[in-house]
Amino acid sequence: MTFHFHNTLLLYILYRMDKKRTDYISWEEYFMSIAQLSALRSKDPNTQVGACIVNSERRIIGIGYNGFPIGCSDDDLPWGREGDFLDTKYPYVCHAEMNAITNSANKQDLGGATIYVSLFPCNECAKLIVQVGIKKVVYLSDQYHDLPVFQAARRIFEMAGVSSSQLSPSRNKIELRLNLES
Ligand SMILES: [Zn+2]
């Protein structure tokens, strides 16, 4: 009896190992997760945004997150949002979209690409997205929808023929293990 049970269990396990997994993440979840993973690199205490650019062959061609320009110390420039303009982060910070575009190795490849971003792009990033030929924006959050810079971004996208859609993921979070021995 026991022997039979173990045999059946073994056959079942072997059968399962022969089939492909069914709980794998979708392409869209995969690229958005890479954007979100990149956002973890941000030093901004309030807003962490990541971006991942993908070409028509589903190859990742640019990754970025919000941060200060190259050579500008994260410790010397301000991260605040209030007070005198020059004492806030706004005039200095490079958005994730800008960094993903400028980090991209092959600018030609950006034509017709899709950008995955944590947050719907602002007007400045919308202009950059249009100018490099990116045709599709997939975003997670649209929390600043009504602010003028985001209204302007929508207007730019509509006129320039860039489509945008909010991702509806099949799961709320993805966990990664960095220690496989515990
Ligand atoms: Zn922006």
SS (H, E, C) 37-66: HHHCCCCCCCCCCEEEEECCCCCEEEEEEC
Q: Which residue is catalytic, options 97, 124, 175, 181? A: 97
CA of 173 relative to ligand 1 center, distance in Å: 24
Query: By mean pLDDT, which of 10-24, 91-105, 152-166 is the weakest?
Result: 10-24
| Burial label, 71 (beta-carbon count in 10 A; 0-12, 13-18, 19+) | exposed
pLDDT at 2: 58
Tell me what the mean pLDDT of segment 32-49 comes to: 97
**Which residue would you say has higher pLDDT here, 9 or 119?**
119
Query: What per-residue confidence (pLDDT) applies to 180?
Result: 92
Residue 160 CA, ligand 1 centroid: distance in Å: 17
For 4-26, what is the mean pLDDT?
A: 78
Q: What residues have a C-beta under 5 A from ligand 1, the ion?
A: 95, 122, 125
Q: How far apart are CA 85 and CA 97, in angstroms?
A: 22
Find, among 77, 121, 82, the residue nearest to 99 by Cα: 121
Q: How confident is the model at residue 29 (pLDDT cuts 50, 70, 90)?
A: very high
| CA–CA separation, 172 and 1 (whole Å) | 43
Whole-number percent of the chain with pLDDT over 70: 96
Instruction: Assess whether 181 carries a catalytic annotation.
Output: no
Does position 77 have pLDDT exceeding 80, yes or no? Answer: yes
Mean pLDDT for 25-53 is 97
**pLDDT tens by residue, 146-172:** 999 999 999 999 999 999 999 999 999
pLDDT at residue 16 in the model:
67
Asked if residue 30 has pLDDT above 80, the reply is yes
Instruction: State the pLDDT at residue 23.
Output: 85
